[in-house]
Chains A and B, each alone.
Chain A
Amino acid sequence: DGGITQSPKYLFRKEGQNVTLSCEQNLNHDAMYWYRQDPGQGLRLIYYSQIVNDFQKGDIAEGYSVSREKKESFPLTVTSAQKNPTAFYLCASSIGWRGRRGTGELFFGEGSRLTVL
Chain B
Amino acid sequence: AQSVTQLGSHVSVSEGALVLLRCNYSSSVPPYLFWYVQYPNQGLQLLLKYTSAATLVKGINGFEAEFKKSETSFHLTKPSAHMSDAAEYFCAVTINNYGQNFVFGPGTRLSVLP
Contacts and interface: CB of A to CB of B under 8 A. Distances in A.
Interface stretch (B15-23, B63-71, B72-80, B98-106): B98-106
Interface string B84-114: 0000001010101111101011110000000
A95 interface: yes
Contact of A105 (B90, B99, B105, B106): B99
Contacts of B26: none
B83 interface: no
Contacts of A95: 98-99
A96 B104 contact: no
A113 interface: yes
B contact patch SS: loop
Contact of A104 (B36, B41, B94): B94
A102 B100 CA distance: 11
Nearest to A95: B98
6 contacts: A31-B98, A42-B90, A92-B44, A99-B98, A102-B98, A106-B99
Interface of B: 9, 32, 34, 36, 41-46, 49, 51, 90, 92, 94, 96-100, 102, 104-107
